[in-house]
Amino acid sequence: MSMGGGALDIGEPTGRMMLTVLGAVAEFERTLMLERQREGIAKAKAEGSYKGRKPTARAKAGEVHRLYGQGLRPTQIAGRLGIGRASVYRVLKESGRT
């Protein structure tokens, strides 16, 4: 067993303990970060300044339908409009076109 700063040997009891402690600290930090994030979002919502992400594909639904009407495939539409292919399918499905 070496405590001189070498590699962590998880085959030794000390190495397993160190790994467990480091994992616990990382989990604790992550939990605190998520808690602060939730508090910040709740505060922003209460102040009315939290809007969330803007829906990009649904905002381009008219263009999706126009291009689909011209015979373009969903992959081509997605590439032209800069949105995901799944978003194109979602827009078309919501309107009953596929």
Ranges of residues in the chain with a pLDDT under 70 are 1-5, 98
The pLDDT value given to residue 51: 80
The Cα 39–Cα 46 span in angstroms is 11
Q: 15 with 47, same domain?
A: yes
| Same domain, yes or no: 29 and 48 | yes
Residue 60, domain extent:
56-94
Question: In the prediction, which pLDDT does 44 show?
Answer: 92
Give residue 85's identity as a one-letter amino acid code: R
Please count the structural domains in the chain.
Answer: 2
Q: What is the pLDDT of residue 1?
A: 45
Measured distance CA(88)–CA(61) in Å, rounded: 8
Last residue of a domain, one of 20, 35, 52: 52
CA distances from 68 to 1, 80, 90, 95 (A): 68, 12, 13, 12
Classified as helix, coil or strand, 6 is coil
Among residues 71, 66, 70, 65, which one has the least CA distance to residue 89? 65
Check residue 95 and give its pLDDT.
79
Report the pLDDT value the prediction gives residue 5, as an integer from 0 to 100: 62
pLDDT at residue number 3: 53
Phi then psi for residue 85, to 5 deg, are -60, -40
Q: Looking at the structure, do residues 45 and 7 belong to the same domain, yes or no?
A: yes
